[in-house]
Every structure is written in C-alpha cells, then in structure tokens.
Chains A and B, each alone.
Chain A
Amino acid sequence: MIRTEELLLNVGPQHPSTHGVFRIVVQLDGEIITAADPVMGYLHRGTEKLAENLSYTQIIPYTDRMDYVSAMTNNYVLVHAVETLMGLEIPERAEYMRLIVMELQRIASHLVWWGTYLLDIGAMSPFLFAFRDREIIIDLFNELCGARLTYNYMRVGGVKWDAPEGWLEKVRDFIPYMREKLEEYNNLVSGNEIFLARIKGVGAYDAQTAIDYGLSGANLRCTGVKWDVRKDQPYSIYDRFEFDVPTGVNGDCYDRYLIRLEEVRQSLRILEQALEQMPSSGETMGKVPRVVRPPAGEVYARIESPRGEIGCHIVSRGKQEPYRLKFRRPSFVNLQILPKLLVGETMTNLITILGGIDIVVGEVDC
C-alpha cells in the first residue's frame, strides 16, 4: 500500500510568475489542485489612508504607483472624479491629449501582458518583441512628461504639458508600425499548436459567473458580454470615435488572449481618428481655481482601464483633501475568481490562469 496525503504548497510572494508580490497557498492532491487561498497585502501601502491627508493634486502621483504599467488611466480616473464633482469644463485639446496618452497606454499595457504571459507559458522571444515595441511608447511618454512609468501627467482641469513639437507626428508614425507588428505577433504565436494546446479551454467560465464576480475588461468580454465603459457609458470624448468592442465565445484564456490583441488594433483606430480630429492649438488647462476644493458631495467615477473598470469613489466635505477616497481596482476584483478557477486544474495551469487574468499587484493591494 502506498500512503498518499494532500500537500500544501506555498507559491510566492516572490515568484516570477506572480508578477509582483502575490502569494497563493494551494492544496494539492498529486498534481491536481483541490483548494487555493490567495494571500494579499504584501504591497499594501495604504494609498487610501494617505490620500485623506493630501490635496487632490498631491494624490495624482500616488495613482501612478497603483497600476504601474498603466499609470495614465489611473491619473485620469482621479482627475475625472474631481472634475465631475466640481463640474469643470475641460478644453478640447486637453481632452484629446488625454485620450491619446490613454490609448497609447492601453497598447503599452497589453504589450506588457502579451510578452510576460507568453514568458510565463515558456516562450522567450515574444517577450523581447513586445518590450521592443512598448519601448517606443515609453519613449514617447518620456518625451512628453519626463518619466518612463510614473507620469503624473494629468491635472484637475487638463494636462500638465502640451505635446512638444513633432510629438504628435511620432504618434502618427507609430500607428502603421504597430499594425505591421501586430501581424508579426499573430504569425509568431497566435496559431502555434503548442501554445493553443496550453491555453485553449483553460480557465473557462460563463457570462453569468463573470457578472456575478464583477469581472471587467477582457475577463468579462471573453464570455461574450459586450460591455466596455468607453462604449456603454462614454466618458471624456469617447463617444466621438468609431471602434469595436471585441468579445469572445468560450470564456477561456485563449479568448482573453485574442481580445487583448484585438483591443490593441482598436486602440490604433481610435488614435488615428483622434489625431485627425484634434484641434491644432489651444489651451491644455481649463479654468481651475488655484486651490482645488470640490463641493461637499459624493462621486463615483469609472473608466475602462486596460485591465477593466477602474473606479474612484470620493466623499468630499468641501475641503482641499478628500474625506474618503476609495479606488475600485480591476485587478483586485478580477482576481477574486482565481480560487474557483483553480480547483481541479494542474499546477502548470495555475500559471496559465493567473497570467490570463492580467493582474498588477500594485493595484491589487493599493
């Protein structure tokens, strides 16, 4: 008789495939996972508590550090919430600048995901391809605001700097370049048989489950739910552009993969139209009082970040600092379904499924 027993295995917090300091304790029966318990908080910095003692402008750099591969959208959700509360009007050119950087950011973020996800699965070279192309966007941002990751670019009422000379032309040149590279990505990976065997049908769930868990972004759309805040509850100037919201059918990792690649293509479409429509000159800051002091009240602003719906709930008492500030972080909410997906899967698929959710731990812990 061979004696068998269940094994508790600790994964992380320091482990390359967890993309940060995320820890999960799994219970194993042989190679099969019978239970999983995510342990968070290793990157909890108390952003919400800190914000209660900071003015709104001072909070913006903290948002850079939540989802650090998509700082522009984080910047935006905060300033958007404050602007909604104050009823501010934003100059056209500032709106276009914001939209352009947010869509570039979406592409950059999806490229990081694409590269690292394939690296998790065991493909080395796509990572190099993705980071080569992402570098172009990072350089553009660096030229615009002097930082590669933590931009602190947006302000309540507009943006800090207008585009330097020739910057918009560089963005225009990037669009055909990226389109060509997308083809390359697809040729390189999307039809690869080993890759398909690894992710097709893995981590599947249906639309009802996705809605029940409050998933958003590609994690929701892979089940066929056509929900994109940019389209369904347009904010900023998103109602002026033509773009499609890609959806999946099977709700598995492969659908999520395809959706993210398609979203890059759609972002390029939006960028093309934005550059076309953008006014050639104008203010980049609206009329904002020197001290930003929103009226007493509450607001919940939500936008579509690369990872899903990021929200900012502000309770204001008419002071310079928020009385309470809460971020709805898509990574945190999306991650909740992980234990459910892992039961019955093998250890190898843990990496595939976790990577497919696309989390950033800075945002999970906040």
Chain B
Amino acid sequence: MSEVDNKNTPDIMDSAPNPDKEAKAAAAAEARAARAAARAKASEEETPAEPKPPSPNQPLLDQLAALIRAEVAPGAVEEAHINELDRHIPTLTIHSAFWYETAELLKFHPSLQLTYLRNLSGVDHETHLEAVYHLISLEHKQDYCFKVRTDREQPSIPSVTPIWSTANWNEREIYDLLGIQFPGHPDLRRIMMSDDWVGHPLRKDYEPLDPEV
C-alpha cells in the first residue's frame, strides 16, 4: 500500500479492520510458528547426535593444565577451556596467588617459551575484575590466552613486568582505567589520565566527578 493511500484514508484505517493488515499478521504468525518448529527440530536433531568432536587444540590445553598443576600448584588452574570462537585458542584461568610462578614457567619452560606478550587487557565483569594475557611463542607459533581474576573491592594481581617488559605500560594502563593494583610493578602510576584524576573510567559503575566536562 502506498503512502498516499494511507494519508487519504485515515478513518478507514482506524475504524474498520483492514483485510490487508490482517492477512499480513496471519502470515507473520505462521512464519513465526514455522521458525519455532524449525528451531525445535534443529535442537532435537542436535541433542541426540554424538558429542562435538574435540578441538584440535584440546591435547595442548590438557598438557599445559597438567604441567602447571604439577610444576606450580595443584590449585593454580581454576578453569581451562578451548575458545572455539577465537580460532580454538587454549584459554586458562589462573589463580592470582600462583600467577607469578605460572608466568615464569610459561616463559622459561622449553616446551612453551611464551616469550612474547602480545596483549594485556583488563575487563570489568561487574562481579569481579579480570586481566587477560595473550601470549605466543615466536618459535612454536602457538597462541595461548590466560586470565587472572581478582576481587572488585580490593583488586590486586601480581605484576609480570619483571618477566615481560611489555607488561609495564599495559599494567599502568589497566591500573589507570580499571584500578587494579599490580604489586611488584616498578613504577605504577596513571598513564592516560592526569595524576589527580578521581576514579577509574573503564569501570562499569564509573561516574565522572564533574559530568559537565
């Protein structure tokens, strides 16, 4: 129906039921039902099927988790999974109390040699804060992702600047924007915001001191 028609017949549109509209609504409902049925069917088909084939990186992940548990501490690995959305990268969550020893192991163990810290980000998950480390060995060309969780009220993660110099400014940035303390850092101060800034802007509950600015 063209726009001109709509304008000329406003009363009819409002009072009498429009057969065109009704037909459309019916069609839409039908389509919705069909989609729902298709979804139900798909999920039915999925569930009885065999479990997904394990990721090609699963052995790597298992080996690494076992190595860390053996060399550092049995409780060092909190969680280990394969991030399938991100090219099956092995992802491990390390307990912050064991993070420094784990980091040393990662860098110096001959089978790992994760000498290159690609990226270091901080994330505010509202329930807790998290630092995410993306590491790679330039020799083995294998990526790994490590996460360290910390409390939101008194956030603190051991600094790995003595292990990877890259971490220096990255940790300063996380301290500045998220307020995580990094004990062991040689020079932890704000890097982006000015020294007298109040608060940590990347926190989800951050409120500017002066909202006008």
Residues of A within 8 A of B (CB): 40-41, 44, 46, 48-49, 84-85, 87, 211-214, 225, 227, 232-233, 295, 297-300, 302, 309, 311, 313, 315, 323-324, 326, 328, 332-333, 335-337, 365
Contacts and interface: CB of A to CB of B under 8 A. Distances in A.
Contact of A232 (B85, B87, B141, B192): B141
B66 interface: no
Give the most central of A298, A309, A315: most B CB within 10 Å: A298
B18 interface: no
A298 B177 CA distance: 20
Main secondary structure of the interface of B (DSSP, over half): mixed
B141 A336 contact: no
Given A84-B87, A212-B164, A313 B169 contact: no
B118 A41 contact: no
A103 B96 CA distance: 42
Contact of A299 (B86, B123, B190): B86
29 contacts: A41-B194, A49-B202, A84-B85, A85-B85, A85-B86, A212-B115, A213-B166, A214-B117, A214-B165, A225-B138, A227-B138, A297-B86, A298-B132, A300-B86, A300-B118, A300-B119, A300-B145, A309-B118, A313-B119, A313-B121, A313-B134, A315-B123, A326-B119, A326-B121, A328-B118, A328-B121, A333-B169, A336-B166, A336-B168
Give the most central of B115, B134, B165: most A CB within 10 Å: B165
Interface string B80-94: 000101110101000
Contacts of A332: 169
Given A41-B191, A213-B166, A311-B134, A87 B119 contact: no
A212 B118 contact: no
Interface of B: 83, 85-87, 89, 91, 115-119, 121-124, 132, 134, 138, 141, 143, 145, 164-166, 168-170, 177, 190-194, 201-202
A213 B81 CA distance: 28
B134 A300 contact: yes
Give the most central of A49, A227, A313, A332: most B CB within 10 Å: A313
